[in-house]
């Protein structure tokens, strides 16, 4: 059984900051890659940011320069520091993880989502 525990969402004013965390636990050997996606009402889910175990990062164009993703490999945890938040960042943010299980197969998992609301 694998769980992704998300935390850190909430309500913030435009220009403010939030930090999201996602910790993977259970029958896993290690996290190969973790990241965040978001989905706003009426829109498709989109990549926010992702990081591989080796430290390579990828960002959605709309968050470059404002958001920073980082990971603690020992804790199988990923963090998303969100600065200079805008109302258009309002969405449900989902943690995504590609995890190497104890059977040495890689599986993809999604968190339940955490709401981020940015007021103008």
pLDDT-derived band at 110, boundaries 50, 70, 90: very high
Confidence at residue 29, expressed as pLDDT on a 0 to 100 scale = 87
Q: Give the pLDDT of residue 53.
A: 95
> Confidence band (pLDDT; 50, 70, 90) for 27?
confident
pLDDT band at 42 (very low <50, low <70, confident <90, very high): very high
Per-residue model confidence (pLDDT) at position 6? 97
CA dihedral 69, 50, 106, 43 (to 10 degrees): 130
Length of the chain: 120
Cα(68)–Cα(54) distance, integer angstroms: 16
Taking residue 85's Cβ as centre, other Cβ atoms within 10 Å add up to 22
**52: which residues sit within 8 A by CB, 6+ positions away?**
32, 33
- Give CA–CA dist 48/9, Å, rounded: 14
């Amino acid at each position: 059984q694998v769980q992704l525990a998300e935390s850190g969402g909430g309500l913030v004013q435009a220009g403010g900051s939030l930090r999201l965390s996602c910790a993977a636990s259970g029958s896993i050997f290690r996290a190969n890659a973790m990241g965040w996606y978001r989905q706003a009402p009426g829109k498709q889910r989109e990549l926010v940011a992702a990081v591989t175990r080796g430290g390579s990062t990828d960002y959605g164009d709309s968050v470059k320069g404002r958001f920073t993703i980082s990971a603690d490999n020992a804790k199988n945890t990923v963090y998303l520091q969100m600065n200079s938040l805008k109302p258009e960042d309002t969405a449900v943010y989902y943690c995504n993880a590609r995890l190497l299980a104890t059977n040495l197969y890689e599986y993809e998992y999604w968190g339940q989502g955490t709401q981020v609301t940015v007021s103008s």
